[in-house]
A and B are shown apart, each in its own frame.
Chain A
């Protein structure tokens, strides 16, 4: 039985904005075990990045505030740790790779300096050791002439190479959990495929658990063991990857999968489109947040918000409608 690494329970995060309080995360619970890859899928603004940033306490406060919940990392609550304790976790035991490699690297520091920073800080290495380790890491992620390229600056790297550097930095302290926030979104498909294969290889070599945040249902199918779909600050469906794609149950998941063009289909059909827009939640929803866009909506959906319940031991859904006729109705 794989060890439980991360156990998040009832996480709620809000942001104060001039327009009102935005309820970004409204009670999210999930777990992550050793060696497992969890895909977190959702559209922009659904709370997927904020959930992960909250776990690492990287939410700027103000305007952000974590109002409820626990995030247990090996039994210790990350949300209650003292600042110096959580600093030892961040980057060392749980590290994060950010979406945009153009803006998350410091343009006035060389790649070598930036890579050495966590090594000096967390691993207690000296400069020479850090340099050697940085070269190893760059080679690991497939940067040619790694030793020469350490003194280059980020603008001298291509987008795909910068993303590799970000991943190398994320891996530098051999974390137990790697959180990758849309690591391939800004990249071309060929480079994206390189990065996905790289992460899969590293996962096997280093045996770490991964949380892969994305809006791309194709990438998730390739890399995740288990997938959580988020909408309006909630997880609305969660299942092992094959189960989710074979048996999508929440109307939103059905809609997302239906809106993808089928690359293998021989005939062309009209794409299913979910009408309307994702909500911005100025109040904690009292009804199902997806109700205004849902094709299966019932009376009850406007009055209560369905809880995430198990429909099989591994498949959780927050919807009470019978969606078994799903694909035909779309």
Chain B
């Protein structure tokens, strides 16, 4: 888990992802959704970086753009010093062996007409890693790895529960021995007792194969549990990154503070004695984000200077970055 001295596996630099909005007969671009608006961070080999924020803040888009599932508007993503944004399509395709994704919805992310063997074996075929009987053997190994019975290989996704399907998704992601996996809300569709099963599995696999995770979630307590460091996103920008214990004990950005204070704590005595700071209002539209600091419209400590310029993302303490000029 301790990864402070490890090499940087993924470096994201000023990543911008705007989705254009077209209107009218000639489909003129009238505006853009500023889904991700200049984020920079590193992910170190063997660590889990948690990425949290409210829905619509751009956390999933960030994950997908890192994997080049969207072509970024601008910015760079380096994987071991290779700039993924500059790679030719075929080179990028080969690169995908190294980086995989686990999706949020275990119902929509598995093709209902494919058997487990086809689903988990597809990456192996796509990269000519195996054929014939060899595929069966590898699929059986993978299913065993995620604690599913290898005899299930001939079955279809509808025969499995949500937690089991998510294991199938994990097996598929592991088929090519990747080193980096983007987990896009892998547990939010699952029941409480099943969530713990999947999180434990992800942790075991990380130890066994030295995997690096980008763990996207809105369940803040689970993110703290699984992550080494946590990045907090708000409206397309990262407002704070720190070691997860530091972030949860000593949050600096007012948004992080509010977000953490909103977590319902499963302890009636604690909730009776602690006053929560409840954020008012909703997240503004990412089509027209507020000028200057994006959080200023809901921020308890904002003043008129916050509207003037976007706060600099600076290192306040070693390894603790915050984008707020009031701190």
**What residues make up the interface of A, taking CB atoms closer than 8 Å to B?**
43-44, 158-161, 188-194, 196-197, 215-222, 241-242, 245-246, 255-257, 259-264, 266, 268, 270-275, 277-278
Report the nearest A residue to B203, measured CB to CB. Answer: A270
Q: Would you give the shortest CB distance from B218 to chain A, in whole angstroms?
A: 6
Q: Does B109 contact A (CB under 8 A)?
A: no
Is A245 a contact partner of B282 (Cβ separation < 8 A)? Answer: no
Is B262 a contact partner of A261 (Cβ separation < 8 A)? Answer: no
Report the nearest A residue to B199, measured CB to CB. Answer: A271
Contact of B197 among A257, A268, A273 (CB under 8 A): A273
Report the nearest B residue to A241, measured CB to CB. Answer: B268
Is B193 a contact partner of A263 (Cβ separation < 8 A)? Answer: no
Is A190 a contact partner of B276 (Cβ separation < 8 A)? Answer: no
Q: Known: A160-B282, A217-B266, A271-B196. Is A263-B271 also a contact (CB below 8 A)?
A: no
Is B221 a contact partner of A242 (Cβ separation < 8 A)? Answer: no
Q: Which residues of B contact A256 (CB under 8 A)?
A: 192-193
Report the nearest B residue to A44, measured CB to CB. Answer: B191
Q: Does B161 contact A (CB under 8 A)?
A: yes
Q: Would you give the shortest CB distance from A295 to chain B, in whole angstroms?
A: 13
Is B200 a contact partner of A218 (Cβ separation < 8 A)? Answer: no
What are 29 A-B contacts with C-beta separation under 8 Å?
Answer: A43-B193, A159-B55, A161-B282, A188-B54, A189-B220, A189-B259, A190-B279, A191-B282, A193-B279, A194-B279, A216-B264, A218-B265, A218-B266, A221-B264, A222-B268, A222-B271, A242-B268, A246-B269, A256-B192, A259-B192, A260-B192, A263-B221, A264-B265, A264-B270, A270-B200, A273-B197, A273-B200, A274-B193, A277-B163
Contact of A193 among B161, B194, B225, B276 (CB under 8 A): B276
Q: CB within 8 Å of A: which of B215-231?
A: 218, 220-222, 224-225
State in angstroms the CA–CA spacing of A58 and B129 once bound together.
54
Is A277 a contact partner of B276 (Cβ separation < 8 A)? Answer: no
Report the nearest A residue to B147, measured CB to CB. Answer: A275
Q: Which residues of A contact B261 (CB under 8 A)?
A: 193
Report the nearest A residue to B220, measured CB to CB. Answer: A189
Is B192 a contact partner of A190 (Cβ separation < 8 A)? Answer: no
Q: Would you give the shortest CB distance from A19 to chain B, in whole angstroms?
A: 12
Is B262 a contact partner of A257 (Cβ separation < 8 A)? Answer: no
Q: Known: A275-B197, A277-B161. Is A260-B266 also a contact (CB below 8 A)?
A: yes
Q: Which residues of B contact A188 (CB under 8 A)?
A: 54-55, 218
State in angstroms the CA–CA spacing of A116 and B54 once bound together.
32
Is B268 a contact partner of A189 (Cβ separation < 8 A)? Answer: no
Q: Which residues of B contact A192 (CB under 8 A)?
A: 262, 264
Q: Known: A215-B191, A260-B192, A275-B197. Is A221-B262 also a contact (CB below 8 A)?
A: no
Residues of B in contact (CB 8 Å), total 42
Q: Would you give the shortest CB distance from A155 to chain B, in whole angstroms?
A: 14
Q: Does B263 contact A (CB under 8 A)?
A: yes
State in angstroms the CA–CA spacing of A223 and B222 once bound together.
21
State in angstroms the CA–CA spacing of A245 and B271 once bound together.
12
Q: Which of B195, B263, B270, B282 has the most CB of A within 10 A?
A: B282
State in angstroms the CA–CA spacing of A163 and B280 once bound together.
15
Q: Which residues of B contact A245 (CB under 8 A)?
A: 266-269
Q: Which residues of A contact B192 (CB under 8 A)?
A: 43, 215-217, 256, 259-260
Contact of B263 among A215, A263, A277 (CB under 8 A): A263
Q: Would you give the shortest CB distance from A279 to chain B, in whole angstroms?
A: 11
Is A278 a contact partner of B280 (Cβ separation < 8 A)? Answer: no
State in angstroms the CA–CA spacing of A215 and B193 once bound together.
10
Q: Known: A189-B220, A189-B259, A272-B196. Is A221-B268 also a contact (CB below 8 A)?
A: yes
Q: Which residues of B contact A272 (CB under 8 A)?
A: 196
Report the nearest B residue to A142, measured CB to CB. Answer: B280
State in angstroms the CA–CA spacing of A84 and B184 once bound together.
49
Q: CB within 8 Å of A: which of B167-220?
A: 191-197, 199-200, 203, 218, 220
Q: Does B313 contact A (CB under 8 A)?
A: no
Q: Which of A188, A189, A272 has the most CB of B within 10 A?
A: A189
Q: Which of A219, A277, A278 has the most CB of B within 10 A?
A: A277
Q: Does B245 contact A (CB under 8 A)?
A: yes
Q: Does B248 contact A (CB under 8 A)?
A: yes
Is B218 a contact partner of A259 (Cβ separation < 8 A)? Answer: no
Contact of B262 among A190, A220, A264, A275 (CB under 8 A): A190
Apart from A216-B264, A222-B264, A259-B193, what are 11 other A-B pairs with CB-CB below 8 Å? A43-B191, A160-B282, A192-B262, A218-B264, A221-B266, A221-B270, A259-B192, A263-B221, A270-B203, A274-B193, A278-B193
State in angstroms the CA–CA spacing of A180 and B311 once bound together.
41
Is B55 a contact partner of A255 (Cβ separation < 8 A)? Answer: no
State in angstroms the CA–CA spacing of A197 and B275 once bound together.
11
Contact of B276 among A197, A217, A260 (CB under 8 A): A197
